[in-house]
Amino acid sequence: MKKLIFLLILVSFLLIGCQKEKVSKKSVFDMSWEEIEKNADGQNVSITMWGGSKEINKYYDEFVAPNLKEKYNINLKRVPVTDIRQPLNKMVIEKESNKKNGSTDVIWLNGENFKFAKTNEILLGDINSKLPNIDGVDPNALRSDFGEPVDGLEAPLGQANFIMITEVKNPPKTAEELRSWVEKNPGRFTYSNPNDFVGNAFIRTLAVDILGREDFLVSDMGPVWDYLNEIKPYLWREGKTYPESSEKNHELFASGEVDFSISYTPSIVKNKVTLGEFPKNTYPYIMNVGSFTNNHYLTIAKNTQNPEAALVFINYMISNDPQEEKTKSSVWGDGAVTKELKEQLFTPQLKELSPEVTEGIKDEWYEKVAKG
């Protein structure tokens, strides 16, 4: 009889445990927002992101993290990487091995990396359908990311506008003018490797000018590779090496080694001039053909351990307070995506090309320019 009672008690505990497991596995898509916020209380959330900017890192560490803790009792962990594709590849491996407790929660990405994540089905789902603050976001940013339909899988964080940076008077604004300038001023110009998204935008801008059209394929870019090879001997270090990122390009400009830099953040110039990092007469401008303009986004890993905290974090990031803070040139200078704060960018604006083109440029440039 004692054994029978013991077995009944054991079975009861197992049934209660199973029931609790079922409750805990309730999908966030089946929860109300009140339930999501309640469950997020006390959770940790990680954001895997490019860590190459001290200003952006400081924004997350000194503004976002403390406010997220104070408002929602959520602990934010910033996970810096040099290439976002690395953690995405790890997420694919985790999916294939059916790992439930993933290595990351929120990812900062756009363009070809978003398409890669979407194609490999490693994202949580239509998170925008759950975010109360999404109604206050510019609807244009919700449609497509470098031509790839967003489908609710990512929420816009900010907007970018490609610029040239210099203190040179009457700077070159066409490909031909740039060719003439570098030939007359050898060693004073460079651009970041197109594995860097800003260096990639520089090459795409030249391509629009040289090819005479805004929509093209990598297979059309022969004249662009010819052009880059022609100016190569006149570049910094004779084109034998290139800055690995726009931040490295900024350092060369700040130290006086080159006369130009490039960026996707127009107000970065005012910030760096104020800090004394750039010469006082530095200013941003765009090439005559226009400026590539895009949005960057936050998304959630399919196997996130903390989906509630991830959703609350992103919902906070698309509210006006953190959006307004990051627009300050002294903080980040990134464009806001909320309807209330969205600002006018440099025009004309060039529509971003497909991820296939931006990705293809990396490989083709390496083979036809860097190795040549």
Query: What's the rounded Cα separation, in Å, for the pair 357 and 146?
Result: 10
Per-position DSSP letters for 11-58, written without gaps between them: HHHHHHHHHHHHHHT--GGGS-HHHHHHHHTT-EEEEEEE---HHHHH
Which residue is listed with tokens 């990680």?
A: 46
pLDDT score recorded for residue 137? 95
Integer Cα distance of 117 and 276 in angstroms: 39
Mean pLDDT of 133-159: 94
List, for residues 188-205, the tens digit of each pLDDT value: 999 999 999 899 999 999
**Residue 160 pairs with which residues in a beta bridge?**
294
User: What is the pLDDT, as a whole number, of residue 11?
Assistant: 45
pLDDT in tens, 199-225: 999 999 999 999 999 999 999 999 999
Residue range 69-87, pLDDT digits in tens: 999 999 999 999 999 999 9
Q: Using an 8 Å Cβ cutoff, are 209 and 227 in contact?
A: no
Residue range 43-59: average pLDDT?
95
The whole-chain average pLDDT of the chain stands at 92
Say how far apart CA 365 and CA 222 lie, in whole Å. 10
Bond prior to 348 in cis (omega within 30° of 0): yes
With a pLDDT cut of 90, the percent of the chain lying above it is 78
Residue 163 phi, psi dihedral angles, 5° rounding? -135, 160
Q: Token match 């339930």: residue? A: 35
| DSSP β-ladder status, 106-109 and 44-50 | parallel
| pLDDT range class, residue 300, cuts 50, 70, 90 | very high
**Distance between CA atoms of 365 and 35, rounded to whole angstroms?**
50
HEC string of 267-319 equals CHHHHHHHCCCCCCCCEEECCCCCEEEEEEEEEEECCCCCHHHHHHHHHHHCC
Cβ contact 172:205 at 8 Å: no
- pLDDT score for 5: 52
In the predicted structure, residue 152 carries a pLDDT above the cut 90: yes
What are the φ/ψ torsions at residue 370 (nearest 5 degrees)?
-60, -40
pLDDT of residue 181: 98
Return the half-sphere exposure (C-beta side, CA atoms, 13 A cut-off) of residue 186: 7
Residue 150's SS3 state is: coil
The pTM of the full predicted model, rounded to 2 decimals, is 0.78
Please give the radius of gyration of the chain, using alpha carbons only, rounded to the nearest integer. 24
- Percent of the residues in the chain that have a pLDDT greater than 70, as a whole number: 93
pLDDT at 18 over 50: no
Give residues with Cβ within 8 angstroms of 349, minimum separation 6: 161, 290, 291, 292, 293
266 falls in which pLDDT band (50, 70, 90)?
Answer: confident
CA 284 vs CA 9, 104, 109, 125, 159: distances in Å: 73, 36, 25, 38, 17
Strand ranges, E, within 162-207: 163-166
Structural contact between residues 289 and 201, judged by C-beta atoms closer than 8 angstroms:
no
Is 252 strand, coil or helix?
helix
Number of other CB atoms surrounding residue 362 within 10 Å: 18
